[in-house]
C-alpha cells in the first residue's frame, strides 16, 4: 500500500497538535503514513521547499509565518484560497503543488457539527478581528450565504481591507468595537478571532457582550484557556457557545480529505483534544 508522507511547516512548529491529529486520522482511515512537524526558520523557506520537492511529499500544512510566503512556490492555487490570499494546505496533484485554505471552512464545519439546526442563510454574523483567521472565516461565512456578515476591528482600516467589495453589495458593514458592542443584540453568530484573552492574558476581553441574544452562538477561536472570559460572559448571558478547538480539528479534517479523498469523523478526537486543554 502507498505510504503517505505529510507534514506541517511553521516557525515555531515543535508544539503543533497537527501530527497528533493527522496520525489519528490516518489510523481512522486505515491508511499508512507519516506526518511530521517541520520547523523552518523564515529565511530558510526556499531551501526547505527544495527538500519537500525531493522527498515527493504528498501534502503539507502551512502555518505561521508562511501562509502568504508560500504562494510563489505553488504551481496552482484553488480559487477560494486565492480570494483569501493565504494557503494552509498544499497537495501534490499530478506532480504539481496546489494550494488550498481550509481554515475558514474548518470553522464553519465545526459550527455545523455543534449546531446542526442552525439556519445559515437566515442569520446575521459578526466577525471580530481583521487578521488572517478573520479573513478566512469572513469568506467562509459569506459562502454559507448568510444575509449579513459584519466585521469589527480595533483598526477599522484593516477590516475594510479584508472585505473587498462586499460593503458595496450591502452585505457587510465595518464597525468600530464600540459600535459593535451597541449592536450586539442583532447577531445570530459572533466570532472572536483576535488573540485577546489567550494565556497568559486570560482576563482580557475584546468587547463586552451585554445585550447578546439568548439564541446567538458565540464563538472564540482562542482555545487556551478552554473557557475564555469572552465565552464565560456569553454563557452567563444565556447565549450558546462554541470553543476554538473544533476549528483546528476540522481544518485538519478538510486538509486530510483533500490529500486522501477520505472523510474522517473528528467528533471523538475533538472530545479528547478538549480534555487535554481543560
What is the contact surface with ligand ATR in residues (CB under 6 A)?
129-134, 153-155, 158, 193-196, 206
Q: Does residue 18 have a known ligand-binding role?
A: yes
- Active site (annotated) includes residue 67: yes
Taking the complex as a whole, how short is the minimal distance between the CB of residue 133 and ligand ATR, in angstroms?
4
Which residue lies nearer to ligand ATR by CB, 155 or 185? Answer: 155
Is 128 in contact with 107 (CB distance < 8 Å)? no
Taking the complex as a whole, how short is the minimal distance between the CB of residue 86 and ligand ATR, in angstroms?
9
Tracing cell 459578526 back to the chain, one arrives at: 126
- d(C-alpha 104, C-alpha 197), whole Å: 20
Q: Does residue 132 have a known ligand-binding role?
A: yes
Per-residue HEC secondary structure of the chain comes to CCCEEEEEEECCCCCCCHHHHHHHHHHHCCCCEEEEEEECCHHHHHHHHHHHHHHCCCEEEECCCCCCCCHHHCCEECHHHHHHCCCCEEEEECCEEEEECCHHHHHHHHHHHHCCCCCHHHCEEEEECCCHHHHHHHHHHHHCCCCEEEEECCCHHHHHHHHHHHHCCCCCCEECHHHHHHCHHHCCEEEECCCCCCCCCCCCCCCCCCCCCCCCEEEECCCCCCCCHHHHHHHHCCCEEECCHHHHHHHHHHHHHHHHCCCCCCHHHHHHHHHHHC
Q: Does residue 130 have a known ligand-binding role?
A: yes
Q: Does residue 150 have a known ligand-binding role?
A: no
Which residue lies nearer to ligand ATR by CB, 160 or 232? Answer: 160
Q: Does residue 158 have a known ligand-binding role?
A: yes
Which residue lies nearer to ligand ATR by CB, 23 or 195? Answer: 195
Taking the complex as a whole, how short is the minimal distance between the CB of residue 222 and ligand ATR, in angstroms?
10
Which residue lies nearer to ligand ATR by CB, 19 or 85? Answer: 85
Which residue lies nearer to ligand ATR by CB, 243 or 260? Answer: 243
Taking the complex as a whole, how short is the minimal distance between the CB of residue 170 and ligand ATR, in angstroms?
23
Q: Does residue 100 have a known ligand-binding role?
A: no
Taking the complex as a whole, how short is the minimal distance between the CB of residue 34 and ligand ATR, in angstroms?
28
Q: Does residue 244 have a known ligand-binding role?
A: yes
Minimal CB distance residue for ligand ATR: 131
Which residue lies nearer to ligand ATR by CB, 57 or 190? Answer: 190
- The dihedral built from the CA positions of residue 268, 120, 135 and 174, taken in this order, carries a sign that is negative
Taking the complex as a whole, how short is the minimal distance between the CB of residue 184 and ligand ATR, in angstroms?
16
Q: What are phi and psi of 14, to 5 degrees?
A: -60, -35
Is 98 in contact with 119 (CB distance < 8 Å)? no
Catalytic residue, chosen from 53, 67, 96, 135, is 67
Annotated binding site for shikimate: 16-18, 63, 88, 103, 223, 251
Annotated binding site: 16-18, 63, 88, 103, 129-133, 153-158, 221, 223, 244, 251
Annotated binding site for NADP(+): 129-133, 153-158, 221, 244
* Catalytic sites, residue numbers: 67
Amino acid at each position: 500500500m502507498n505510504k503517505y508522507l505529510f507534514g506541517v511547516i511553521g516557525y515555531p512548529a515543535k508544539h503543533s497538535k497537527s501530527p497528533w491529529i493527522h496520525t489519528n486520522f490516518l489510523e481512522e482511515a486505515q491508511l499508512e503514513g507519516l506526518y511530521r512537524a517541520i520547523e523552518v526558520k523564515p529565511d530558510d523557506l526556499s531551501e526547505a521547499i527544495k527538500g519537500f520537492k525531493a522527498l515527493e511529499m504528498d501534502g503539507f500544512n502551512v502555518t505561521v509565518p508562511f501562509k502568504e510566503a508560500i504562494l510563489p512556490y505553488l504551481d496552482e492555487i484553488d480559487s477560494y484560497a486565492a480570494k483569501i490570499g493565504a494557503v494552509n494546505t498544499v497537495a501534490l496533484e499530478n506532480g504539481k503543488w496546489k494550494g488550498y485554505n481550509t481554515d475558514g471552512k474548518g470553522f464553519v464545519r465545526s459550527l455545523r457539527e455543534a449546531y446542526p439546526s442552525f439556519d445559515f442563510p437566515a442569520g446575521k454574523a459578526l466577525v471580530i478581528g481583521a487578521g488572517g483567521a478573520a479573513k478566512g472565516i469572513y469568506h467562509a461565512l459569506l459562502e454559507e450565504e448568510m444575509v449579513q456578515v459584519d466585521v469589527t476591528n480595533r483598526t477599522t482600516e484593516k477590516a475594510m481591507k479584508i472585505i473587498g467589495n462586499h460593503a458595496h453589495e450591502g452585505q457587510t458593514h465595518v464597525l468600530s468595537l464600540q459600535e459593535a458592542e451597541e449592536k450586539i443584540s442583532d447577531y445570530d453568530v459572533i466570532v472572536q478571532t483576535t488573540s485577546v484573552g489567550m494565556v497568559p492574558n486570560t482576563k482580557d476581553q475584546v468587547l463586552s457582550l451585554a445585550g447578546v441574544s439568548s439564541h446567538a452562538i458565540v464563538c472564540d477561536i482562542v482555545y487556551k484557556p478552554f473557557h475564555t472570559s469572552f465565552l464565560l460572559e456569553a454563557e452567563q448571558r444565556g447565549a450558546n457557545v462554541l470553543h476554538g478547538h473544533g476549528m483546528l480539528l476540522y481544518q485538519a479534517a478538510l486538509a486530510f480529505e483533500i490529500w486522501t479523498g477520505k472523510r474522517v469523523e473528528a467528533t471523538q478526537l475533538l472530545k479528547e483534544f478538549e480534555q487535554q486543554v481543560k
